[in-house]
Amino acid sequence: MRRIRAAAAALGLLICSLLVLGQQGPSASAATYARISGAGSTWSQNAIDQWRRNVTQYGMTIDYAGTGSSDGRQQFRNGTVDFGVSEIPYGMTEFGVREPPPTRGYAYMPIVAGGTAFMYNLQIGGKRVTNLRLNGDTVSRIFTGKITNWSDKAIAADNPGLTLPNRKIIPVVRSDGSGTTAQFSLWMSKEHGSVWNDYCRRVGKPVPCGLTSYFPVVPGSGFISQSGSLGVSGYTRQNYANGAITYVEYSYAVTTGFPVAKIENSDGYYTEPTASNVAVALTQAQINQNKSSSQYLTQILDNVYHYKDPRTYPLSSYSYMILPTKVEKGFTTDKGNTLGAFGYYFLCEGQRQAEPLGFSPLPINLVQAGFDQLKRIPGVQVQSINLKGCDNPTFSTNGTNTLAKNAPFPKSCDKAGPTQCSDGTGGASHVKTPVKSSAGGGTGGSSAGTAGSGSGTTAGSSGTGSGTTAGSGSTSGAGSGTTTAGATSAGTSGGVDPDTGLSTGDAGGSGDGGQDIAASTVSVGSESFWGLRTWLMGLSALLLLAVVVAPPTIARRLTTRTGKRHGSA
């Protein structure tokens, strides 16, 4: 008995000393960070994942689960994660239900800006389209099931340079609770309210309906719902998803190498959500400046949607981190130290990587406001950061947003009208899509007229509208005939065949200099049930059966024969 007691005492001492040692551990070295976890948005996940990887060199371990903004807010409310990431704040009303704010202390902090892009997978004649343009009304009607075919007149009107195929549009939407869906539906409800309300009525939701995190889908409408930004972008990029279009943050299109649709802004230009276009648009975002409000720093985007700058991308927005401001629900000051250090990292240095990833860096006022918000985290080690050292592309010496100020203006072929640029977009920016000669004119020019399709009977196939840069119309030998008469006038007005005197507008492969991108009407005679294919299938089934059955049958017959012979012998 005594021995047991002694052993117990020794064990107790050992445990105590271990505990003491363990307690000394973190305080001894300041660079040891407690592990923290977060969940939420997949819209900004590409940026967060990059920053998480970068801070592992400082010994920080940050777990992040991209489970959608709704789930992130819910998990933060329940206290299962240390921070949440969401595009929309708490307290939004979706289909008449107001989301209650959490009981724990919280604050919002913008982390990165970006554009909700429309990534698509569309081929014309086996070649991927990379320069699609859509206006807001068309987009809304595509995602509410009103426009169901790529050859629709509305899409053709947006894309004078493309001969769009008679192919079904497959809208791919998010199935989980998503901030991307919330931003997109908010934009639709504000800008194209009648279209969106009409859709809500069809799916049996109360009208007028504002934003929603769960995209409602009519069963059997051909819409595809997938979970997460990775799910929708991954589905859209598959070979079988020809004709699909989805809404996702620009960075997903960049990383998957797929194009995004250029969206028409209020100034009549079709723009892409590049970092500078987003920065221009977000100069118009109204940020809640009331520090005592629970909605401090949240965004109102109404002015962004119809800002009259040719460089604006209308669906631009900020993504927010939801920070805990009290020690409760498993959040400790040690964790606060990690979260604060992580926050200082990505508000300053991390913003440099926003642009290459497909996001847009925060402007200086929001970075400073973010630093103030970080001070509210319990346990944070306040750092005084010299903003010049951040090397954020939006910063300047005089307080203006450099990125927005120096944003390049769109080419004139991007203006709504009869012309269309051939340049690729998103992750496919290096791939040009040939446009019809009549649309390829203007200053932009295009490489459209590289190959006059073989059927050109006359020599007039050269370079209508095919000027490589200046629109002088000088390249492009045709498949047949000699290259005569370089149609110098074609570069600007683009349109008359010098030999035939006919308009070369959309003759579709009859020597108009444009590469044949027409995939218009295809009709195939319906095959009867007893066609060749059925016979071949039956034959292969028979062969398969023979392969399985024949060897044992033959083998058995052979053995019986030899057996008989042996028996008779």
Partner 1 sequence: MIVRSVSIRTQPRPAGPDHGADRRRRLYSDSALPDRLFHAVARSGGGLVLAVMLLVGGFLLYRAWQALRKAGLGFLTTAQWDPDAGHFGIAAVLTGTVLIATVAVVISVPLAIGTALYIAEYAPVRLRRTLVSVVDLMAAVPSVVYGLWGLFFLQGKVIGLARWLSTYGGWFPLFTVDGADPHDPLATATVYTASTFVAGIVVAMMVTPIICSIIREVFSQAPVGEREGAYALGATRWGMIRSVVLPFATGGMIGGTMLGLGRALGETIGVYLVISPVFAIQPHILQTGTSSVSSLIALRYGEASPFGMSALMAAGLALFLMTLVVNFAASSIVARSRSGATAE
Binding region for partner 1 (CB under 8 A): 67-74, 94-100, 165-168, 170, 175-177, 204-206, 213-214, 217, 219-220, 222-227, 231, 234-235, 238-244, 519, 522, 524, 526-527, 534, 537
Closest distance to partner 1 from the beta carbon of 230 (Å): 9
Residue 291 neighbours by CB distance under 10 Å: 11
Q: How far is the CB of 75 from partner 1 (least distance, A)?
A: 8
Q: 3-state secondary structure string, 109-176? A: EEEEEEEEEEEEECEECCEECCCCEECHHHHHHHCCCCCCECCCHHHHHHCCCCCCCCCECEEEEECC
Name which of 398 and 526 has its Cβ closer to partner 1: 526
Q: What is the DSSP letter of 480?
A: S
What six digits make up the tokens of 104?
Answer: 């724990």
CA-CA distance, 327 to 378, in Å (whole number)? 7
Q: Smaller CB distance to partner 1: residue 189 or 213? A: 213
The amino acid at 381: Q
Nearest approach in angstroms of CB 362 to partner 1 is 26
CB of 184 to partner 1, least distance (A): 17
Residue 73 CA, chain-centre distance (Å), reads 22
> In this complex, which beta carbon is closest to partner 1, that of residue 524 or of residue 548?
524
Looking at the DSSP bridge assignments, the partners of residue 244 are: 121, 170
Find the shortest distance in angstroms from Cβ 241 to partner 1: 6
Q: Max Cα separation, the chain?
A: 115
Q: Which residues, 6 or more positions from 519, have their beta carbon under 8 angstroms from its beta carbon?
A: 124, 125, 163, 165
Q: With respect to partner 1, which residue has the nearer C-beta, 328 or 527?
A: 527
Query: Considering the complex, what minimum distance in angstroms separates the CB of residue 485 from partner 1?
Result: 37
Q: Which is nearer to partner 1, 241 or 518 (CB)?
A: 241
Q: For partner 1, which is the closer residue by CB, 220 or 408? A: 220
Tokens of residue 346, six digits: 């990505």
- The CB-of-321 to partner 1 minimum distance in angstroms stands at 17
Q: CB-wise, 95 or 450, nearer to partner 1?
A: 95
Distance in Å, CB of 523 to partner 1, minimum: 9
- CA 360 to CA 272: how far, in whole Å? 12
**Residues whose CB falls within 8 Å of the CB of residue 224, separated by 6 or more in sequence, listed in order:** 170, 171, 172, 173, 235, 244
Cβ proximity to partner 1, 100 vs 399, nearer residue: 100
Sign of the dihedral defined by the CA atoms of residues 363, 299, 43, 103, in that order:
positive
Question: How far is 157 from 149, CA to CA, in rounded Å?
Answer: 14
The nearer residue to partner 1, 72 or 471, going by C-beta atoms, is 72
**Residue 146 CB, nearest distance to partner 1 (Å)?**
17
